[in-house]
């Protein structure tokens, strides 16, 4: 059972928050395999982190382990889910139904737990009206109305770079404060609005940097194999 009021240090470090979903995924896998309890060591391995870090991360949520035993898988799933806000249902709108938007709409794991794609929105009349992943694509003119009507609180931007800032401004204006941005631009938003960025080309460039270094540094092999 849950301790009623654990006035837990509401300041969970960002680095910890970023790892909680990782632990949660590992725990879900264990729950499916009917594993009842898990040690910090085992869970850490499954999540790809070291066990001291995992223990410190979990300690920020409360004291949910049992010394000498480990953590109860189901209980920990619940606690982490609650902490992340996954015990409620989040309505997500995807703006921009190009290749990427379409992929996101169809991507099952993307909306597995706690999230629900509630709207698809695009500006192209060619696409508006189409059914994708069981949803009707609505026109960008309806943006504000749709967001309010469906109670959307998280917006995914999969628009072209040039359109991202404008769409961003509009959704912020109707009260959205959480945005996941796939467009390769730096969005400017007022304080209090969270923007997370996923940038494929940046990831590739970081890989290229390390790859180059492994290959002998710049100006060495142009044609290596």
How many other C-beta atoms can be found within 10 angstroms of the C-beta atom of residue 170? 16
Which of 22, 35, 39, 130: binder of DNA (CB under 7 A)?
Answer: 39
The rounded distance, in Å, linking the Cα atoms of 37 and 107 is 31
Q: Which stretches within the chain are classed as H helix?
A: 14-32, 40-47, 51-59, 73-84, 99-106, 143-150, 161-173, 200-214
Beta 178-181 vs 135-139: how paired, if at all? unpaired
Taking CB under 7 A as the binding criterion, the range among 9-17, 102-110, 153-161, 171-179 that sits at the site for DNA is: 9-17
Which of 52, 69, 103, 145: binder of its own copies (CB under 8 A)?
Answer: 103
Taking CB under 7 A as the binding criterion, the range among 51-59, 141-149, 173-181, 211-219 that sits at the site for DNA is: 51-59
Which residue lies nearer to DNA by CB, 134 or 210?
Answer: 210
The crossing angle, in degrees rounded to 10, of helices 40-47 and 51-59 is 100
Taking CB under 7 A as the binding criterion, the range among 68-76, 114-122, 141-149, 168-176 that sits at the site for DNA is: 68-76
- How near is the Cβ of 70 to its own copies at its closest, in Å? 19
Contact positions vs DNA (CB under 7 A): 13-16, 39-41, 49-53, 55-56, 58-59, 63-71
């Amino acid at each position: 059972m849950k301790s009623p009021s654990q006035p837990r240090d509401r300041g969970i470090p960002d680095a910890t928050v970023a790892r909680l979903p990782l632990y949660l995924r590992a725990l879900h896998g264990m729950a499916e395999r009917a594993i009842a309890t898990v040690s910090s060591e085992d869970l850490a391995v499954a999540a790809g982190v070291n066990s001291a870090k995992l223990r410190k991360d979990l300690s920020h949520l409360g004291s949910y382990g049992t010394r000498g035993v480990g953590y109860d898988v189901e209980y920990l799933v619940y606690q982490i889910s609650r902490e992340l806000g996954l015990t409620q249902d989040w309505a997500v709108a995807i703006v921009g139904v190009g290749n990427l938007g379409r992929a996101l709409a169809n991507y099952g794991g993307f909306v597995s737990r706690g999230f629900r794609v509630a709207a698809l929105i695009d500006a192209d009349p060619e696409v508006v009206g189409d059914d994708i992943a069981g949803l009707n694509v609505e026109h960008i003119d309806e943006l504000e109305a749709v967001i309010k009507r469906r109670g959307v609180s998280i917006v995914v931007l999969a628009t072209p770079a040039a359109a991202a800032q404008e769409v961003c401004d509009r959704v912020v204006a109707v009260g959205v404060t959480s945005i996941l941005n796939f467009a390769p631009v730096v969005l400017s938003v007022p304080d209090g609005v969270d923007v997370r960025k996923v940038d494929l080309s940046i990831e590739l460039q970081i890989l290229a940097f390390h790859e180059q270094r492994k290959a002998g540094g710049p100006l060495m092999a142009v044609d290596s194999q």
